[in-house]
Chain A
Amino acid sequence: MTPQELVVRMLPPFGGWLALAALALPGGSPLRGAAVALFLAAGPGAALVRVCVPAFAARPAEGPVERRDPDFARHSDLLERLMLTLFLSIGAVMLAATVLIATHTFSAQRVLLTLTLLTTLAAFCPPLRASPPARTTPRTPKGSAP
């Protein structure tokens, strides 16, 4: 693992622990707000996307009929990962908060701690491997059977 990969892998959980530490700052402080908002908007999603990237990349996405720009598909994939980082994070925050509130165990610190622990767990997970392509049995041409 290269140092760059290590940074990418550990950045989301680091953001979570940083946000937890930022809770010590006074309420309404911009630093506290930035640390919390940044982690909630990107942390859990970034950790999940990193785990899933090999599986994501196993099959090309649907794209336009015309293929002029060689970088177009790559840029689209990048946008897709950014989008998933954001929306998986939002989804994770909503799900975690809902589960805690439905079980009457809600507190904001618990929501943040839960997400940080899940993000840390995801950072230690190996990347998902792509499922192998479907095995297709070659048809025997008519009349060629022994």
Chain B
Amino acid sequence: MRPPVTPKERSTPEPTPARDGANTPGGTPETASQSSSPSSSESSSAAHEPVTDLSDLSPVRPGRSALAWPGLPLLAALALWVYAVRHTDVSRLDDYGLVTALHPTFWAGLVVLTAGFWCTVRDPRRPGAWAAAYVLGLLVMERATQAVLYPTPLYAWAWKHDAVIDHLLTAGGLQTADQVGDMAVYDQWPGFFAAQAALVRLLGVESSAMFMAWWPLVSSLMLLLPLLLIYRTFTEDRRLIWTAVWLFYVANWVGQDYFSPQSVAYALHVAVLAVVLRRFGRTAVRCGRPRQAVWTVVITLLITAIVISHQLTPGMLVVCLVALCLSRRYRDWVPVVTTVVIFLAWCLTAALPFLSAAMPDMIRSVGDVGANVETGYGATPTGTGAIATSWAARLLSGSVLLLAAAGVLRQRVLRHRARPLLLIAAAPLPMFAASSYGSEMIFRVLLFMLPGAAFFAAAALLPKVRTLDADAADAADAADAAAQAGAGRPAVPARHGLRRFAAWVPPAALLAGTLAFVPAYSGKDRINYFPPQEVALVRQLFDQAPEGSLVVAANRNYPLAYDSYWSVDHYWFLDDARSHVDRIVRDPAATLATDMAGVDRPARAYFLLTQGQLANSEMNGQLTREQLDRIQDSVAASPRFQLVAENGAGWLYVLKQTGGAER
């Protein structure tokens, strides 16, 4: 048994087998069930609750039927999900994205799944495998629904990453800014893209677009094992472990699970934390057993994979590891030094071109917290649907963080035992002061806080962790209350009703969070989904565009936007200065023709306007639908443009060239 670590723990007597007998493996099922089931412990008075803490869930041997019944709600939920995805039409998404498009049985399935999970995870007679099955069911319903429903991959960013992989396969090596301009940044952190390039070729598929729609499910599954390990470092209670995992997944709406380097780097980050929390503590060192050097080698491999893949994640890992060093239990500087050395080595060699160019801006943004948390132009939710889903996301994140704060305040014992997790949850906060990270820092900070925050949020939903000291104090309180009642003070009948009401609050909170995930995660699918016609239209453009051509579009929210970026140039006019955008709105065809005029033959200048651009502009507070329609009408009517292709998802025009190079 692990010796007590702190003076407080040392002063807390360990629970004795005699008092805990019902919960030991040797206890009879009936006794264990009676003594440890949440309902019994909650309905009885505090003085009669079983002593000890949340770990009173020892394995018992129930009958087969009792073992199997959790399968029924799970199967029912999955059946409802299958029915829902077969009866959902995504061809006409409105401003609420998938929320209004989903068949009602999807919501019913989520309710059944959450209710089944709550009942199963709190029942000590159920094997832990059922909780795992429910979490997998949640991942399927949350992260695979879009892959099943939409015929093409979501997110313009995922399509961009597909283009980067295509570039690596075409070039066969890394290139510099002289060759690929701003996109060279991806060649300076190539880990993810190089691995995906190999995978594309090894699978023998045309491109990563063939499988990237399933990446949210894959990257979420990758997080499961490290999350379990982290939580198992601080508690044996599987209610707490699995509820924390559930809350982590429903609160992780920020959309960094798509086909991207950060999705893998984040999973590696959580894995490094799991190894450090389990293997770099000081307990065994104090027992005269030094840490095996092999663990340093293991985290070195994982950290190197992070460093070569993503810019921000190593920084977040450093602050988390430094925060861990604040606790006596984890005051081991080896992981921090290892991360810093590898990170610096990469930044001063392979990533130096990007960093030397970006450093002045990065230095300017240090300390400017207001600007760092501010959303930029073109990121302001506009319209009822966009605003409502944004608020759902904010409320979801705010609720989980509030729950975490409640868990920290309420669970005194856990706050003490899981202090390293509390430090990890708080560690990313100073990053607000470091950089705006393209107006995304607030989401990234939230993401990196989640592993710790979800644990304490789950603790807020579950019974208090108890120690013998606390139990003795409660017994004394109960005795006082009994004495007062005996002295003629009136009992409080409302307390029983309040307790019954309070018992419904945790499952209701879990259900609300699970349901809120859908608008938070899929509420902007009108922006993120590109129908096959839109893909076909853009593909038609790149099939005919000669090398050196220019593609002009409102913004970059369309599929294949970066296709052939090493040979085709782009101009997204909504990224330009506001005065120039106003000029385009006033006199669209003439201004755009002037902007596109500097393209020499045989290259051509194309104007592309698609459904994805319209949705992004409208819902993010750029130009309205009417303004964009006016631009399209103006270009269509202009004799300087010629229609190349048109379908239900957009228009493609080419600027007419007369004689030699048009100016």
* Chain A interfacial positions (CB closer than 8 Å to B): 19, 23, 25-29, 32-33, 36-37, 40, 52, 55-56, 58-70, 72, 76, 79-80, 82-84, 86-88, 90-95, 97-98, 100-104, 106-109, 111-112, 128, 130-131, 133-134, 136
Contact = CB atoms under 8 A, between A and B. Distances in A.
Contacts of A52: 294, 298
Report, as a range, how many residues of chain B touch the other chain: 35 or more
B190 A101 contact: yes
Contacts, number: 205
A132 to B, nearest CB: 9
A39 B70 CA distance: 34
A69 B271 contact: no
B308 A86 contact: no
B281 interface: yes
Given A55-B292, A94-B308, A108-B202, A61 B267 contact: no
B288 A136 contact: yes
A91 B225 contact: no
A66 B52 contact: yes
Contact of B198 (A32, A56, A83, A112): A112
A133 to B, nearest CB: 5
A106 B283 contact: no
B127 to A, nearest CB: 12
B2 to A, nearest CB: 6
B8 to A, nearest CB: 11
Interface string B280-293: 01011000111111
A70 B25 contact: yes
Q: Which 5 A-B pairs have the closest CB atoms?
A: A27-B204, A108-B201, A91-B305, A97-B194, A104-B173
B279 interface: yes
Contacts of A93: 195, 198
B195 A94 contact: yes
Nearest to B221: A86
B5 interface: yes
Given A67-B2, A97-B198, A104-B172, 6 more contacts: A62-B277, A69-B58, A72-B232, A94-B192, A104-B173, A106-B198
Contact of A59 (B9, B56, B236, B289): B289
A66 B509 CA distance: 28
Interface in B289-337: 289-295, 298, 301-302, 304-305, 308-309, 329
A47 B199 CA distance: 20
Nearest to B280: A62
Contacts of B305: 87, 90-91, 94-95
B194 A100 contact: yes
Contacts of B120: none
B191 interface: yes
A111 B210 CA distance: 21
Given A72-B232, A80-B278, A94-B194, A40 B268 contact: no
Given A59-B284, A72-B236, A95 B304 contact: yes
Interface string B334-371: 00000000000000001000000000000000000000
B173 A65 contact: no
Scoring A19, A64, A72, A131 by chain B CB atoms within 10 A of each residue's CB, the highest score goes to: A64
A90 B268 contact: yes
Given A101-B173, A108-B197, A59 B292 contact: yes
B105 interface: no
Contacts of A134: 288-290
A107 B268 contact: no
20 contacts: A23-B202, A28-B205, A28-B210, A36-B203, A37-B199, A55-B294, A60-B2, A61-B278, A64-B55, A64-B232, A65-B4, A65-B417, A72-B236, A79-B229, A83-B274, A95-B304, A97-B191, A104-B173, A106-B198, A130-B292
Given A88-B302, A107-B201, A108-B202, A65 B194 contact: no
A87 B202 contact: no
A92 to B, nearest CB: 8
B150 interface: no
Contacts of B172: 101, 104, 106
Contacts of A90: 195, 222, 264, 268, 305
Contacts of A87: 226, 267-268, 271, 302, 305
Scoring B202, B222, B234, B271 by chain A CB atoms within 10 A of each residue's CB, the highest score goes to: B202
B195 A97 contact: yes
A127 B473 CA distance: 52
Scoring B1, B23, B197 by chain A CB atoms within 10 A of each residue's CB, the highest score goes to: B197
Contacts of B292: 55-56, 58-59, 130-131
Contact of B191 (A19, A60, A98): A98
A37 to B, nearest CB: 8
A130 B290 CA distance: 10
A94 B289 contact: no
B615 interface: no
Interface in B488-545: none
B53 A66 contact: yes
